[in-house]
């Protein structure tokens, strides 16, 4: 094939492409114009139907506005609750029936006992005072925080089953109040105690929304927040309560599965952090039992005491940082 034949074939190919492009433009333009005419025709035919459905649109707009107002009010309440958490509220969240004064007395006694034990063990007065101060202000609050988290975890574990009880009761024809009474008598702790407060409050004239606010104040969990939003919106706008709560139960169970999956995936990091955090005190104990004279300098001199205190402070900071790094929020 010579050079002239190749030029002729290239020109023919370009001409075919140009003709195809021009034809596509005309066909697509015709198709677009036909679609535009059909769309305008459908819109014209739909105008009477849309005019007839104005009432439905207005009702949906009203429901949407009511839902937005409800959500906005709940968000404002929750923001106000998160600002300041008094000690009395923390005690209630832990499930303790004690007064604030009793907690302060117990903290002082704990600090005094720890300080006395450190002094009797032969440590200096400075370390005993620092240990007693830390025990008085840190140990009771740590125990309180641990009890709060344990109680909230137990509540979240059984809350999906609680919602299923309400769903089955509503589907069988029971009112919501009777379902709440059933939960208050048959559910495990701490759900039973929380819903007993709702039932007793309703007997005294407290509304369901106010009772849910009190539960969220003691159990600031996303699950309780979702439940509160669903019931509040259903009371103000109406709708199928059993379907809404059934969907909420499914969401909570999926959250529970995701939480378990994240905890399983984070076990390696937690084990590594535990090993790293336990190495310094473990090595210190080994050296103390193998060479006591080598370690006694830290306990018998002021400089050694300061080294111990500074080491404990930095170790505590390191442990807190590692805990923060492996503490997944979900």
Which pLDDT score, from 0 to 100, does residue 64 have? Answer: 61
Query: Do the beta carbons of residue 158 and residue 187 sit within 8 Å?
Result: yes
Q: Which two tokens stand for residue 264?
A: 């399983």
Tens digit of each residue's pLDDT (9 = 90 or more) over 29-81: 444 445 554 554 555 454 444 444 555 555 566 656 655 665 566 556 555 55
Show Cβ contacts of residue 167 under 8 Å, excluding neighbours closer than 6 positions: 242, 245, 246, 249
Per-residue CA distances from 36 to 33, 39, 54, 244 (Å): 5, 5, 26, 40
Architecture in CATH of 152-252: Up-down Bundle (1.20)
Please tell me the predicted confidence (pLDDT) of residue 209. 82
CB 258 within 8 A of CB 330: yes
Of 195, 164, 193, 160, residue with least CA distance to 177: 195
Cα–Cα distance list, 314 to 302, 308, 309 (Å): 18, 10, 9
pTM value?
0.61
Tell me what percent of the residues of the chain surpass a pLDDT of 90: 6
Is pLDDT of 212 > 60?
yes
Q: Mean pLDDT over residues 81-103, rounded?
A: 82
The token duo for 44 is 């014209």
Q: Which residue has the higher pLDDT, 319 or 35?
A: 319
Can you tell me which residue has the tokens 């473990």?
Answer: 282
Q: Let me know: does 216 contact 225? Beta carbons within 8 Å.
A: yes
Q: List, in order, residues 6 or more apart from 98 with CB less than 8 Å away.
A: 91
What pLDDT score does 295 carry?
81
Averaged pLDDT for residues 75-96: 73
pLDDT at 24 over 60: no
3-state secondary structure of 214: helix
Task: Spell 123-145 as b/e; 16+ CB within 10 A means b.
Answer: bbeebbebbbeebbeeebeeebe
Pick from 122, 119, 249: which is nearest to 241 by CA?
A: 249
């Amino acid at each position: 094939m010579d050079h002239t034949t190749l030029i002729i074939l290239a020109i023919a190919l370009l001409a075919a492409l140009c003709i195809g492009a021009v034809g596509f433009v005309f066909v697509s333009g015709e198709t677009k114009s036909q679609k535009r005419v059909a769309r305008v025709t459908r819109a014209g035919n739909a105008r009477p139907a849309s005019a007839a459905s104005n009432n439905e649109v207005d009702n949906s707009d009203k429901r949407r506005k009511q839902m937005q107002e409800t959500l906005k009010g709940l968000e404002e309440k929750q923001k106000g609750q998160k600002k300041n958490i008094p000690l009395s509220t923390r005690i209630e969240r832990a499930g303790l029936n004690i007064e604030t004064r009793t907690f302060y007395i117990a903290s002082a006694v704990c600090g005094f006992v720890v300080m006395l034990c450190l002094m009797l063990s032969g440590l200096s007065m400075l370390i005993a005072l620092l240990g007693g101060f830390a025990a008085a202000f840190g140990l009771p609050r740590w125990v309180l925080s641990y009890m709060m988290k344990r109680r909230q975890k137990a509540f979240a574990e059984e809350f999906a089953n609680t919602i299923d009880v309400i769903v089955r009761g509503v589907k069988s024809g029971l009112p919501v109040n009777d379902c709440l009474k059933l939960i208050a008598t048959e559910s495990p702790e701490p759900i039973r105690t929380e819903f007993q407060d709702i039932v007793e409050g309703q007997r005294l004239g407290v509304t369901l929304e106010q009772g849910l606010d009190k539960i969220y104040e003691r159990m600031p969990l996303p699950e309780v927040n979702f439940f509160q939003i669903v019931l509040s919106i259903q009371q103000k706008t109406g709708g199928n309560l059993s379907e809404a709560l059934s969907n909420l139960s499914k969401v909570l169970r999926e959250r529970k599965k995701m939480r378990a999956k994240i905890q399983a995936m984070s076990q390696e990091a937690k084990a590594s952090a535990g090993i790293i955090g336990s190495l310094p005190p473990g090595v210190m104990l080994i050296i103390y039992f193998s060479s006591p004279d080598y370690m006694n300098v830290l306990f018998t001199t002021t400089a050694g005491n300061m080294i111990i205190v500074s080491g404990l402070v930095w170790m505590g900071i390191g442990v807190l940082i590692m805990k923060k790094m492996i503490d997944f929020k979900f």
